[in-house]
A and B are shown apart, each in its own frame.
Chain A
Amino acid sequence: MDIVQMLVVLAVLVLLVKPLGTYVYHVFSNEQNRLDRVFGGTERLIFTLIGVHKREGMGWKKYALSFMATNLILVAFSYVILRLQHALPFNPNGMGSLEPTLTFNTVISFITNTNLQHYSGESALSYFSQMAVIMMMMFTSAATGFSVAIAFVRGITSKGKTLGNFFEDFVKAHTRIFLPLSFIITLVLVALQVPQTLDPTLTVKTLEGAMQQIAIGPVASLESIKHLGTNGGGFFGVNSAHPFENPNPLTNVIQILSMWALPAALPYTFGLFAKNKKQGWVVFSAMMCLFLVFLSVAYTSEKTGNPAMSALGIDASQGSMEGKEVRFGIAQSALFTAVTTAATTGTVNNMHDTLTPLGGLVPLGEMMLNVVFGGKGVGLINMLMYAILAVFICGLMVGRTPEFLGRKIEPREMKLIAVAILAHPFIILVPTAIAFMTELGHGAITNPGFHGISQVLYEFTSSAANNGSGFEGLGDNTPFWNISTGLVMLFGRYISMIAMLAVAGSLMRKQTVPETIGTFRTDNKLFAALLIGTVLLIGALTFLPVIVLGPIAEFLTLR
């Protein structure tokens, strides 16, 4: 049954790729289409309102500057609201102002689409903060990522001088993708018993006569964009493991699909932009192959259970159920874990800290690679970066200057890519090492030994990959963790985005090389295999030593 459950979800996803990918293509292709009649009016109004009349194409520098400036303004706005939430409306539960380093961390966390939460929503944020900051950033950060990905794709697939207009892309991502989709998903979730209200926390009398506080609020709307935007920041501290966020297996599947479908459809959109659907499918299949490996490891490892528990005489026939919700079971939990870190959403329906060592390696590994579908747009950009690397290394072997999509890969591109591939291990490994060198860092570890290494590593990996899921178990609401993870999230998001936009800007201006029989083809099975190989050799080998010290050592000593 478990396998069937997972296969059904996978099948639905694959079926969604083509229609969704085509839809996204039409949204951003900037060609006249029927969508204009539906959304055109609203958009024109918005464009007039924000004073973007001509919507001229932008070069990569202007595009980068525009999205950075937009994000900066949103950050400033959000910081003020969180600090002043006690004085603002919609605060029926009387939440106080947020501590400065926590505010810094939270604001960075949400603008970078990470949603690492060092706070607990139900006990720290007002409804207004939840809606005006948390939900607002969930939309805008996802739309930013999406716009940048589309701009990157435009750059590497078209010849011209512009990557498109950021403001137009940004608005369209809202009006045509995130708002309508989250509206639908919200209604579906409400129908499936997820609360959506502005009423204050309920105080009820339990059967035993005790008084209990039951936190509620505008949950369903946050849930929908939390997944659609691969954000992952939960309304409640325990995220999608909470029965109000994710009441039953059906909502669980809806949440899985809503966070997974858009990142999975983007390669297809890329194929349409490249006027070569096979190219899109090759990228998709490389992602899918890696995903299936991770999912199998997670499922078998969780199903096998924890030998230490079995040794205590606890029935482990169901697998390792510690930290999992009974209503989801192993299959739905393993799938959710594999998807949430693949799509770098970071929402959790089980506690990753309690996963078996190899089961915990899965989310960690997926975030280290950051290319297995990946978050809003960023995953595609990263995968295409690896594609360029694969082309560069292997393309030489056909005896030609390497070219991707007809564009030569030359020193300028390699230098920019070097920045991007260096940044990821740097911002994970260096802070991890620093954390272990200082009491401020390793004082937060709740499990000593190998698991402690995994906890710290997970926290920084999750920040760097802009995933946001926590291994939890780490006492992380301290200035050290707030500031360090805040910086890691910031660099994790913007360094590679800007570097890759610059790559697109440089490739866009190149004369395309016509394809001949001597060309290194990037739209066949062999290339998919080479792409996976490159990801594993360059992306994964980097982290092997620390993984050996963390999850693998834990696994080996636990057997």
Chain B
Amino acid sequence: MNRNKTNNALSAGALKQAVRESFIKLNPAVMIKNPVMFVVEAGTLIVLLMIVFPRLFQSQATMGFNIAVFFILLFTLLFANFAEAIAEGRGKAQASSLKKSKQDMSANKLVGEAVTVVSSTELRKGDVVIVSQGEMIPGDGEVIAGLASVDESAITGESAPVIKEAGGDFSSVTGGTRVVSDQIKVRMTSEPGQSFIDRMIALVEGAKRQKTPNEIALSTLLISLTIIFLIVVVTLAPIASYLGIELEIPILIALLVCLIPTTIGGLLSAIGIAGMDRVTQFNVLAMSGKAVEAAGDINTMILDKTGTITFGNRMASDLVPVAGSSIESLSEWAAISSLMDETPEGRSVLEWAKKQGMSYDAALAAGGEFVEFKAETRMSGMDLADGRRVRKGAVDAVRKWVAAQGGDIPPDLEQISNTIATLGGTPLAVAVDNRMFGVIYLKDTVKPGMKERFDQLREMGIKTIMCTGDNPLTAATIAREAGVDDFIAEAKPEDKIAVIRREQAEGKMVAMTGDGTNDAPALAQADVGLAMNSGTIAAKEAANMVDLDSDPSKIIEVVAIGKQLLMTRGALTTFSIANDIAKYFAIIPAMFMLAIPEMGVLNIMNLGSPLSAILSALIFNAIIIPLLIPLAIKGVAYKPMSGSKLLSRNVFIYGLGGVIVPFVGIKLIDFAVHLWI
């Protein structure tokens, strides 16, 4: 994995690019998409006009102040644009590395029996191409004949090649990946420009970024606040004029810009882009921002047992000797039978022996012959050079084998193997010629750390359901061990959909992972469907996220990222609105102090002069945007905890912080500004 690949995206080049973008984005036609900042831009232009045509506005006297206001407003706009440009820039860096793998390439198109070389852009859905060792696969497709190892590092970052073969769940290939051995026949499944890589580039570049419902709702609120404060400021002038107080236009604009939620307004799109980007950096490709936000809302998570919760391989977890034999002798023979056994089960027996400090004489096996596992015999083992035959295998198979040689069957064998089976394990009997030594307890092992993660999910209020084809007993054992809340045993693909529908009918949002074609309907039904990149095209089409590393347990992190995205949005909105209190206390007394000296009491920050107070508030309002860019892009810190705790913590930091920080900030800025005015 190359998760660190894009973390240094803030290179000098990217910064330069972002600065240039900040100016380009000043174009009002672009700006109008962000109404809050558009109001700031309108204000900036009015102040600019007052500077350029001072006589028209009779604003000669306040020229210096107006110029200061103009530049602060301009920087407010540039900072907001810069935040968005930086967030977009990170995606662009990623997209350009993807684009490299999408150069125009030639393809060997199969027309009838003949092969013609065409450009990859001419390929249409349904065309069949032949890709040989060393060639790039020209587009997304499905292997229809042959088997090859394919280097997918361009999209996954995983350097080890993967095997792709016709039929089954490993038949889909992605355009831009390279065949490193053998030859395959591929049928194209996408039109040019719509391949997986194309979509991925579009997504990370943010070109097709649409506002999510939550963003729309929040924008609505921000726009209403902007209009409210516009009303407040516009009506203030005639009301004050009744008292003979003439308010200067730049001061009113300063008040307006300070009151409208520019902080969140300027950072909102950066938060959204960065949230998507965090998912992408995690090597998960989300088809829409909506999917990422939906991840934050997940109530129920359906996880496959095999590969997600457990390693999927049965491993030796214990050895149980039968009556009349010792653990030492059992472990020795079990190890010898497995010496040349390359199956995960076999290797796990040796590992177990090593871990338990059991010794065995490897020399015994010297010159021996390995007996492979066969479906008919259901045993494997070793024929030693001295003529002794060692076997391990299914209990009844080994028992019959021993009995056939006239051996005694220990009375406790049956009971031991039954106990193991009830615990959800698989018993393997070990015997040498006519003597039975004992039973290996093979067990599917839960991945380390899963239990803790499920505990975290529970704290977040997410219910986990394990799906497995195992019988209920085995399923229950693993479920207990892993700490999932519920499980479905002997699950068929339809069962998954049924569970998803049942949960959704209760109003819950469901996430699931899958890779097979038969998972596709469930992936489509789920609110968040995470398909494995190694999976079939159908699964990837149905899902709204694809994990390029094909690690199903990543769904848990995706949920955390979704939550973090929403939290960041909420935290900065709260902070932005809470800032208004301090700004009022800076500007309101300053506006009226000349006409009504008694207003000085409201100047609780004891700011140097009215003009200095207004400029300080305005400067604070501007520089808080770049100061918060790192937070907007990284997201607020998130630890799994209950909703109430999370709320108290964030309200304390961003709500109370939002009230206090500007008081301190404005006062500090005033110290500097007051030196001049």
Interface residues, chain A, with chain B CB atoms under 8 Å away: 389, 392-401, 406, 409-411, 413-415, 417-418, 421-422, 425-426, 429-430, 432-434, 436-437, 442, 449-450, 452-453, 511-514, 516-521, 524, 526, 530, 533, 537-538, 541-546, 548-549, 552-553, 556-557, 559
Contact = CB atoms under 8 A, between A and B. Distances in A.
Contacts of A538: 225, 577
Contacts of A557: 596, 598
Contact of B643 (A410, A453, A521): A521
Contact of A401 (B241, B508, B566): B566
5 contacts: A400-B297, A418-B221, A433-B237, A453-B239, A518-B462
B280 interface: no
B461 A450 contact: no
B220 A542 contact: no
A549 B588 CA distance: 10
B455 to A, nearest CB: 12
A429 B647 contact: no
B235 A429 contact: yes
A432 B297 CA distance: 45
Give the residue among B224, B242, B563, B599 with the most A Cβ atoms within 10 A: B242
Interface residues of B, number: 75
Contact of A437 (B236, B238, B643, B648): B238
A464 to B, nearest CB: 13
Interface stretch (B42-50, B226-234, B310-318, B547-555): B226-234
Given A398-B643, A429-B235, A546-B239, A422 B228 contact: yes
A491 B598 CA distance: 37
B592 A411 contact: no
Given A397-B567, A409-B217, A514-B508, A436 B239 contact: yes
B506 A400 contact: no
A397 B232 contact: no
Nearest to A450: B243
Given A399-B562, A553-B592, 10 more contacts: A396-B214, A399-B296, A410-B214, A414-B220, A429-B231, A429-B235, A453-B239, A453-B243, A521-B643, A537-B580
A482 B500 CA distance: 61
Nearest to A419: B224
B75 interface: no
Contact of B638 (A399, A426, A449): A399
Interface string B198-218: 000000000000000110111
Contacts of A393: 221, 570, 573-574, 577
B511 to A, nearest CB: 14
B269 to A, nearest CB: 16
B581 A541 contact: yes
A190 B655 CA distance: 53
Nearest to A412: B217
A559 B600 CA distance: 13
A518 B243 contact: no
A98 B362 CA distance: 116
Contacts of B570: 393-398
Contacts of A414: 216-218, 220-221
A517 B642 contact: yes
B185 to A, nearest CB: 46
Contacts of B592: 548-549, 553
Contacts of A450: 243
B232 A396 contact: no
Nearest to B561: A399
Contacts of B601: 556
B587 to A, nearest CB: 9
Contacts of A396: 214, 218, 566-567, 569-571, 573
B38 interface: no
A204 B231 CA distance: 55
B507 A520 contact: no
B283 to A, nearest CB: 22
Interface in B223-268: 223-225, 227-229, 231-243, 255, 259
Contact of B238 (A392, A394, A433): A433
A453 B584 contact: no
Contact of B644 (A415, A422, A521): A521
Contact of B232 (A394, A519, A542): A542
Nearest to B601: A556
B220 A514 contact: no
A422 B224 contact: yes
A394 B239 contact: no
B654 interface: yes
A411 B259 CA distance: 23
A392 to B, nearest CB: 7
B227 A553 contact: no
Chain A to chain B: the 4 pairs with minimum beta-carbon distance, closest first: A396-B570, A518-B461, A399-B563, A516-B461
B299 interface: yes
B646 to A, nearest CB: 5
Contacts of B296: 399-401
A233 B318 CA distance: 88
A514 B299 contact: yes
A394 B228 contact: no
Nearest to B225: A538
B235 A401 contact: no
A506 B562 CA distance: 26
Contacts of A418: 220-221, 223-224
A442 to B, nearest CB: 6
A546 B563 CA distance: 40
Nearest to B587: A545
A533 B577 CA distance: 11
A433 B252 CA distance: 15
Given A395-B570, A544-B588, A401 B654 contact: no
B459 interface: yes
Contacts of B463: 516
Give the residue among A421, A518, A542 with the most B Cβ atoms within 10 A: A518
B578 interface: yes
A99 B342 CA distance: 104
Contacts of A442: 242
Given A399-B564, A418-B223, A513 B299 contact: yes
A433 B569 contact: no
A399 B646 contact: yes
B599 to A, nearest CB: 6
A55 to B, nearest CB: 30
Contacts of B236: 545-546, 549
Give the residue among A393, A520, A544, A546 with the most B Cβ atoms within 10 A: A393
Contact of A400 (B563, B584, B654): B563
B602 interface: yes
A519 B596 CA distance: 49
B152 interface: no
A421 B578 contact: no
B383 interface: no
A425 B217 contact: no
Nearest to A399: B563
B515 interface: no
Contacts of A421: 224, 228
Contact of A514 (B221, B228, B507): B507
B570 to A, nearest CB: 3
Nearest to A546: B239
Give the residue among B243, B458, B509, B592 with the most A Cβ atoms within 10 A: B243
Contacts of B225: 538
Contacts of B233: 545
Contacts of A549: 236, 239-240, 243, 592
Interface string B634-677: 00001000111011101100110000000000000000000000
Nearest to A400: B297
Contact of B242 (A452, A511, A518): A452
Contact of A392 (B217, B234, B243): B217
A389 B225 CA distance: 12
A549 B231 CA distance: 16
B566 A399 contact: yes
B643 A519 contact: yes
Give the residue among A394, A400, A517 with the most B Cβ atoms within 10 A: A400
